[in-house]
């Protein structure tokens, strides 16, 4: 039979072992909780940094064109102009221009040409989805000064960016191209007017 002091030593050793096991469990549990907390904080931050596709599109665009000036005369009553470019970027036009805005139908192109003369930029569209039209509208609303969005049903392009004597066409919406074109040509028409 073991001695009393030997039994006490074994009990102390068992208690020390149990105490160390409890400490390891507490430390391990604390590490797990800390990792969960860190994961709950870091994971959403990483998800926010993940690039998402742009909602305003990045369709391919042709090179910027400088077009021949077709004049800037006002229409006589009953006169119908003929433009060499589709959509026109200059030429004989209505005595009344159109203000900045979004036009969805029945737009008088002769009024739009007058707006171009005043330094407006027009985003013409044809045959694009409603989502793409909404993208053009959002771009115009974010920077509306002398910017117009209008349909042009008879043009062969999806999107045409037009300023006086300048045009760039795109296969769809390209926000970077639109903003660059606008910055370059807004207020650059031959007649400075609002």
Same domain for 167 and 72, yes or no, is: yes
Whole-angstrom distance, CA of residue 152 vs CA of residue 192: 25
Going by pLDDT thresholds of 50, 70 and 90, the confidence category of residue 50 is very low
> Residue 115 maps to which CATH number?
3.40.30
Render pLDDT for 59-83 as a digit per residue (tens, 0 to 9).
999 999 999 999 999 999 889 999 9
Could you tell me which of 64, 62, 91, 87 has the C-alpha nearest to residue 75? 91
- Domain annotation covers residue 159: yes
Q: Are 147 and 173 in contact (CB under 8 A)?
A: no
Percent of the chain with pLDDT over 90: 63
Same domain for 94 and 179, yes or no, is: yes
Answer whether residue 28 shows pLDDT above 70: no
Segments forming the whole domain that contains residue 74: 65-185
Answer whether residue 19 shows pLDDT above 50: yes
- Domain annotation covers residue 194: no
Whole-angstrom distance, CA of residue 71 vs CA of residue 126: 26
47 or 12: which leads in pLDDT: 12
Evaluate if pTM is beyond 0.75. no
Render pLDDT for 78-108 as a digit per residue (tens, 0 to 9).
899 999 999 999 999 999 999 999 998 889 9
Q: Is the dihedral of CA 128, 129, 130, 135 positive or negative?
A: negative
Q: Are 175 and 54 in contact (CB under 8 A)?
A: yes
Q: Please state whether beta strands 147-151 and 159-163 pair in parallel, antiparallel, or not at all (unpaired).
A: unpaired
Q: How many domains does the chain have?
A: 2
Going by pLDDT thresholds of 50, 70 and 90, the confidence category of residue 17 is confident
- Domain annotation covers residue 192: no
| R_g of the chain, CA atoms, integer Å | 34
Whole-angstrom distance, CA of residue 136 vs CA of residue 130: 10
- Domain annotation covers residue 42: yes
């Amino acid at each position: 039979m073991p001695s009393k002091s030997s039994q006490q030593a074994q009990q102390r050793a068992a208690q020390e072992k149990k105490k160390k096991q409890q400490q390891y469990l507490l430390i391990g549990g604390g590490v797990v909780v800390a990792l969960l907390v860190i994961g709950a904080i870091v994971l959403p931050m990483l998800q926010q940094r993940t690039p998402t596709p742009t909602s305003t599109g990045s369709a391919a665009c042709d090179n910027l064109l400088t077009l021949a000036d077709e004049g800037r005369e006002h229409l006589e009553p009953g006169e119908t102009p003929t433009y060499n470019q589709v959509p026109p970027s200059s030429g004989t036009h209505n005595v009344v221009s159109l203000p900045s805005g979004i036009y969805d139908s029945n737009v008088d192109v002769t009024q739009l040409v007058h707006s171009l003369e005043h330094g407006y930029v027009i985003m013409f569209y044809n045959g694009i989805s409603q989502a793409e039209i909404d993208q053009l509208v959002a771009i115009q609303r974010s920077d509306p000064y002398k910017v117009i969005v209008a349909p042009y049903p008879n043009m062969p392009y999806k999107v045409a960016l037009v300023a006086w004597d300048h045009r760039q066409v795109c296969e769809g919406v390209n926000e970077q191209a639109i903003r660059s074109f606008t910055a370059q040509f807004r207020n650059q028409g031959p007649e400075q007017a609002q």
